[in-house]
Amino acid sequence: MSKREKQAIGQQILAAFRAAGAEEVAPDLLLPAETLLDLYGEDIRARAYVTQDPIRGEMMLRPDFTVPVVQMHMASGAEPARYCYLGEVFRKQDHGETRPEHPRDNEYLQAGFELFARDPDADAEVFALFHDILAPLKLQASMGDMDLLMDAVRALPLSGARRAALLHHIWRPRRFAKALARFAAPAEARSFPETAAPWTGLRSPAEMQARIDRLRSDAAEAPLPPQWVERLERLFAIQAPAPEALRQLRGLAAEIPDIAEAVDRLERNLAALSARGIDVSQVHFDASHGRHTMEYYDGMTFSFAAAGRTDWPPVASGGRYDALAAVLGQAQGRSIPAVGGIIRPGLVYELGGQVLGKAA
């Protein structure tokens, strides 16, 4: 498959996005690393290509379009606004010292759509747009909602520090599970005997003392009651057709009242999708869906995957990222809800998708 063939599919998708009212934009290929590091932390170095510029400092090959599009919108965009784009992103996919038998692409084409609007139907608009474009490929549509999970974590009877730790790791299932298990067990007492030895290391005495105080406070905290662990595990494990998942979530909201508002939003989203002609019984709901997507998604998430291609990433994916938009808009004193997604033209082509759906 040549780049020209991928580009041809990408242009079809881009035309569909423009027909939906989007303005085409072209973010830079090289992005300042500082912003991305502030957002994602040092973990992004393991996934992005970093280089050093003698004038601009540390730079990254574009790992994602969303951040530069949000920055552009916050600098000068109107409300509401729709943007679309087509271009390469660069990510380290395979780790280790040997080349895998079937390496994943480190450079691949993305066609994307971003919507900045205060419209409560924005989630449904974006999901339906992607659904219509990809309809001929008969992909499996899936969705989740990070709001549900984060509201449940915020409801746990834990200290603010422990809840913050769980929220920080919510996109890292293994680390989250380890932290949850630790918080559910009695804390081990830590001994910090007084000593006349001088302080050493890069941290100041005040920083070290603050760390000791936090450890002592953590050791004194009561463990998380087992019923809360069980409730959280049941929530994270919900997987069902969307209407059935909604029924299960309604039942669980009686035990975790703090998720009721997010469940209401899910119900409204499903109703809005139905009003747009989508059979929501064919949409798979996975409560943990968003934990395997980009870390900035904090509301609805979605993906469209090819049946029988378990070794493939989703053909399309996206979600809501209000918090990211708020953070990147701070300098301009702006904040607006945002939702968007991307389609991978290369995968569409491999599925024979030269002609896309009614949105195209």
pTM value is: 0.87
Spatial CB neighbours of 24, under 8 Å, sequence gap ≥ 6: 14, 17, 18, 83, 84, 85, 86
Burial class (CB in 10 A: 0-12, 13-18, 19+), 58: middle
Q: Is residue 172 pLDDT above 50, yes or no? A: yes
Q: What CA–CA distance (Å, rounded) separates 295 from 171?
A: 6
Of 91, 85, 26, the C-alpha closest to 61 is 91
Q: Average of pLDDT values for 241-263?
A: 97
Enter the DSSP assignment of 88: E
Q: Average of pLDDT values for 148-167?
A: 95
Of 59, 38, 42, 63, the C-alpha closest to 50 is 59
Q: For residue 172, is it left (φ>0), alpha (ψ between -120 and 50) or beta?
A: beta
> What sign results for the dihedral spanned by CA atoms 132, 86, 84, 344?
positive
Top-tier CATH class for 1-95+103-137+313-360: alpha beta
Structure tokens at 318: 């996206």
**pLDDT at position 193:** 75
**pLDDT at position 277:** 96
Q: How many CA atoms lie within 13 A of 31 on its CB side?
A: 25
- Span 128-152, pLDDT tens digits: 999 999 999 999 999 999 999 999 9
Q: Is residue 100 pLDDT above 50, yes or no? A: no
Which has more pLDDT, 193 or 13? 13
| pLDDT confidence tier of residue 98, bands split at 50, 70 and 90 | low
Q: What CA–CA distance (Å, rounded) separates 169 from 343?
A: 27
**pLDDT at position 275:** 97
**pLDDT at position 354:** 60
Report the range of poorest mean pLDDT among 28-37, 230-239, 295-304, 315-324: 28-37
Q: What CA–CA distance (Å, rounded) separates 108 from 95?
A: 17
**pLDDT at position 1:** 64
- Span 177-229, pLDDT tens digits: 999 999 999 877 677 777 777 777 777 878 877 777 776 676 668 899 999 99
| pLDDT confidence tier of residue 296, bands split at 50, 70 and 90 | confident
**pLDDT at position 294:** 73
Q: Average of pLDDT values for 105-116?
A: 91
Task: Give the number of other CB atoms < 10 A from CB of residue 294.
Answer: 19
Listed by start position, the domains of the chain span 1-95+103-137+313-360
Q: pLDDT exceeding 90 applies to what percent of the chain?
A: 57
Output the average pLDDT for the chain: 88
Which has more pLDDT, 107 or 346? 346
Report the range of poorest mean pLDDT among 152-156, 320-324, 352-356: 352-356
Q: Is residue 112 pLDDT above 70, yes or no? A: yes
